[in-house]
Amino acid sequence: MTRRRLRRRVPWSMLAVMLAGALVASACARASSASPSAPSPSFGIVQNRPVPDVPLVDQAGRPTSLAAFHGKVVVLANFLSLCQDECPMVTGAFIAMQRDVQAAGLGDRVAFLEVSVDPGRDTPARLAAYSQQFGANWPLLTGAPADLNRLWSFFGIAHQQVPEDQPPKLDW
């Protein structure tokens, strides 16, 4: 290719790149200024039958049950305080969701609950320490093993206690 021909091509190719960039920028600006679409359907388990109203205990040692949250949208997660992977991430997601729910003015209509799958180790004192460590300001609940089994079985959540060979490395 001659030098003269290359000079003619370079400006056209640069113009094409600049035009493509302008089109992308314009599309991005339009997309970000468009009115928000309707929220997508929620994900999770929808039950068309009553959830078992098992007796529970919160991190302050107060007795409660799921009936205490009647009339609210309940966001429920299973957890155990010894979990160092997913559980703190779920708690972090709850913190973010709770902030968004509060900002939308819906805080009085939504209840966030984390219920233990390890009632033998997740005592109210342990739950209180976990709550303080991660900034969870919603009920962290535990209960009798048979009651929690009934609750989690209702949702199709299987769990099994694994014996510890040694004390856990992290104890709240």
Three-state SS letters, the chain: CCHHHHHHHHHHHHHHHHHHHHHHHHHHHHHHHCCCCCCCCCCCCCCCCCCCCCEEECCCCCEEEHHHHCCCEEEEEEECCCCCCHHHHHHHHHHHHHHHHHHCCCHHHEEEEEEECCCCCCCHHHHHHHHHHHCCCCCEEECCHHHHHHHHHHCCCCCCCCCCCCCCCCCC
Which superfamily does 55-154 belong to?
A: Glutaredoxin (3.40.30.10)
Tell me which of 12 and 38 has the higher pLDDT.
Answer: 38
Residue 42: band (very low, low, confident or very high) from pLDDT cuts 50, 70, 90: low
pTM summary value: 0.66
Domain ranges of the chain: 1-29, 55-154
Each residue of 109-119: pLDDT tens digit?
999 999 998 89
